[in-house]
Chains A and B, each alone.
Chain A
Amino acid sequence: MSFNLDNPELKETRQGFADALMVLGKENPNIVVLGGDVSGSVKTNIFRDAFPDRFFSVGIAEQDMMGVAAGLAVTGKIPFASTYGEFATGRPFDQIRQSIAYSEMNVKICASHCGISVGPDGATHQSLEDVGIMRILPHMTVVTPCDYNQTYRAVLECAKYDKPFYIRFYRDKTPNYTDMNAPFEFGKADTLIDGSDVTLIANGLLVWEAIIAADKLKKEGISARVVNMHTIKPIDEETIVKCAEETGLIITCEDHQKNCGLYSAVAEVLSLRRPTQMDYIAVEDTFGESGTMEQLMAKYKINNEEIIRKVKKHLKK
């Protein structure tokens, strides 16, 4: 697979969500959407304008939003509840736990503005813990698509399952590079670049950084494999173990706290099945701050330069 590294197409992942919702809305009258006042930001306003009867505004009340979504699911509707990552997970955690996860309600929580990507808004709006607090819940499927195409496909696909999902995406335009026609299955990782010296297991925003890193490392004679682990739960154990067997060193790459996210999920698999040297690219147990996405990725060491530095540190080249 080749990538247009110099001039990639840029598209918003949240637009992928909005476009998929429109397709679902046309196909299935049971699709309903909850609005928590930020419908313009998370782009559910597009669905609202097309299907006003199936859009329910609950105001700035995320706890209520999760409860209303669960109640709609009781009647066989397929509710999509969407707001910013922090307000979709942290604020209504107990509601999600009891009324959605424990009760196995068919609610799709779709969170935009996740991770460090909301840059200038600062730490209060940068959800760096959302994957951890969703991943710990039984019955929850947790997905972090890496680009517009994959967000679109994940949103379309999740509606086929009668169970809760958490899907995490971003505000800003990011490179759009995955193949819309390639196989896509929850819990099945995509190997985007093959390699033999190290495996970079990345998700979301960091997949592109891993691709750039692998390209630069190749020029220095280091063969880095890049795996897009879009589903964090259930995680693709077989691919992780296979990578450990074939490349040794595993470095996880995510825009999330280093605790409880992708790094933890991969370490949980390897510690049990194949202890392997690991390292991580993640936020170092700290809160973020205001700045542009690029500035913050550099400052918090979650970009391709840092991936390269860590690979070289371990391979001692």
Chain B
Amino acid sequence: MSTNPKLTSIEDLNEMARQIRRDIINMLLISKSGHSGGPLGLADIFTALYFNKMKLDNENPNWDERDYFFLSIGHVAPVWYATLARRGYFSIDELKTLRKVNGRLQGHPAPSKTHGVPGVEIASGSLGQGVSIAAGTALGLKLSKKSNHVYCICGDGELQEGQIWEGIMTAAHHQCDNLTVIVDKNDCQIDNRVQQVLNMDSIPEKFRAFNWEVIEVNGNDMQSILDGIDKAKAAKEGKPTCIVAQTFMGKGVSFMEDKYTWHGVPPNNEQGKIALTELTKTKFGDFVELEL
């Protein structure tokens, strides 16, 4: 079973989330390309899922009893890669290869079958596709009478993609109660605040209108996330669940927090140095010591 075991205390989970944030900064400093804001904002949710809530076996990523995870917003790949490496799916040393030629850490995730890393089931990057895929997997599991749970992370800006709502209808129609979609509501997208680009207010009401259960959590508070996932798994029979997670883009780095301008750019060395000072070192240790 797992070589890197799950973490049970809130302190350990928070410390791992901080380490993952440090990893994200280090990865981006090396790659000099990639997204900062979204990955930092999602570190707590990824930590909660991979280090506490999901059934998984990092030694056997295709374990039949695993919970399935889909990342609909492929551009936040750095937080996923850092989490997978920290959980033992591959070496943390490989985090140095983000976006590098001949590497597996593609700018947007590729499945291990193509040329990506273990733990990635399917490609993502072109937005709006994850809910349909997760619904398909939920249906396949129900057909096989299996109890594995399916998780899918979407962005709030991503909800502007029409296919998302097609998938939402399909999951509700087919009563995918083994599916939990987590909406990363950071109110930011690459061009501006979501409200400015195309208003996505009332996300809980929208999901409820489509016959989903809705749970609202603070996506940067570990206890709130853990409780939300527990509630989702215990939610009403016959309905899929949406966790609307309020997060801050760039969480943990003062000058990035809640700033949409940090959606798609990496920090420079100077900014990276400040970020790594703010995100203090952890007991888990860095994968690299950069001269900044």
Interface residue ranges, A against B (CB under 8 Å): 32, 53-54, 56-59, 61, 63-77, 79, 94-95, 97-99, 102-105
Sorted nearest first, the 5 A-B pairs with minimum C-beta distance are: A71-B136, A67-B132, A75-B140, A64-B166, A68-B136
Residues of A within 8 A of B128 (CB): 63
Q: Are A75 and B141 in contact (CB under 8 A)?
A: yes
Q: Are A72 and B167 in contact (CB under 8 A)?
A: no
Q: Are B122 and A105 in contact (CB under 8 A)?
A: yes
Q: Say whether chain A's binding surface is mostly helix, strand, loop, or mixed.
A: helix
Interface residues of B in 108-128 (CB under 8 A from A): 110-111, 113-114, 121-126, 128
Q: Are A32 and B143 in contact (CB under 8 A)?
A: yes
Judge whether B135 is part of the interface by a CB distance below 8 angstroms.
yes
**Chain A residue with the shortest CB-CB distance to B161:** A63
Q: How far is the CB of B145 from chain A (nearest CB, A)?
A: 11
- Residue of A53, A54, A58, A74 near B122 (CB, 8 A) is A74
Q: Are A71 and B163 in contact (CB under 8 A)?
A: no
Q: How far is the CB of A95 from chain B (nearest CB, A)?
A: 6
- Residue of B113, B132, B170 near A104 (CB, 8 A) is B113
- Residue of A59, A73, A99 near B169 (CB, 8 A) is A59
Q: Give complex CA distance A64, B169 in Å.
A: 10
Tally inter-chain residue pairs, CB-CB below 8 A: 114
Residues of A within 8 A of B132 (CB): 63-68, 70-71, 95
**Chain A residue with the shortest CB-CB distance to B168:** A64
Chain B 130-164 near chain A by CB (<8 Å), digits 1 or 0:
11111111111101100000000000000000110
- Residue of A61, A79, A98 near B166 (CB, 8 A) is A61
Residues of B within 8 A of A79 (CB): 136
In this complex, the member of B136, B143, B170 whose beta carbon has the largest number of chain A beta carbons within 10 angstroms is B136
5 chain-A/chain-B pairs, Cβ below 8 angstroms: A61-B170, A64-B169, A67-B129, A74-B137, A99-B123
Q: Give complex CA distance A73, B137 in Å.
A: 8
Q: Are B114 and A75 in contact (CB under 8 A)?
A: no
Residues of B within 8 A of A102 (CB): 110, 114, 123
Q: Give complex CA distance A57, B166 in Å.
A: 12
Known: A64-B166, A74-B68, A75-B136. 10 other contacts (CB 8 A): A56-B174, A59-B166, A59-B173, A61-B163, A63-B132, A71-B132, A74-B137, A95-B129, A99-B133, A103-B113
